[in-house]
């Protein structure tokens, strides 16, 4: 099975975040930066602020959707600052959803 990644992009000009998941981080970032992803096209230019690898794409996708439901900018900023996704008082490492 292919590994999965959760990543956070930040719009340099608009100070907005985008949360995504993929099984090929390098290729997905190229698509974002070249305006080939409809959701991030209006946010260009963007920069990668955070990513975390998971055992499968399915796990990464579940975490992405959970993060998107939070919609809290301060929480996203803390993930970037800490380099770790946390749920309540516990942290979620790469193997938490396997």
Contact call for residues 86 and 78 (beta carbons, < 8 A): yes
The tens-digit pLDDT sequence of the chain (98 residues) is 789 999 999 999 999 999 999 999 999 999 999 999 999 999 999 999 999 999 999 999 999 999 998 878 888 999 999 888 876 654 555 445 44
Q: Is residue 54 part of a domain?
A: yes
**Domain range spanning residue 14?**
4-92
CATH of the domain at 54: 3.40.1440
Strand, helix or coil for residue 69: helix
Query: For residue 45, how many C-alpha atoms fall within 13 Å in the half-sphere facing its CB?
Result: 2
Residue 98 lies in a domain: no
83: its two tokens = 């380099």
Q: Are 51 and 24 in contact (CB under 8 A)?
A: no
Residue 97, in any domain of the structure: no
Q: What is the pTM of this model?
A: 0.86
pLDDT of residue 9: 97
């Amino acid at each position: 099975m292919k590994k999965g990644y959760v990543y956070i992009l930040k719009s340099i000009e608009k100070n907005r975040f985008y949360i995504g998941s993929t099984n090929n981080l390098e290729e997905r970032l190229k698509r974002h930066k070249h305006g080939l992803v409809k959701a991030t096209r209006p946010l260009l230019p963007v920069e990668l602020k955070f990513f975390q690898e998971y055992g499968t794409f399915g796990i990464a996708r579940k975490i992405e959707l959970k993060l998107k439901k939070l919609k809290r900018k301060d929480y996203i900023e803390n993930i970037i600052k800490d380099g770790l996704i946390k749920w309540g008082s516990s942290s979620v490492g790469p193997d938490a959803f396997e």
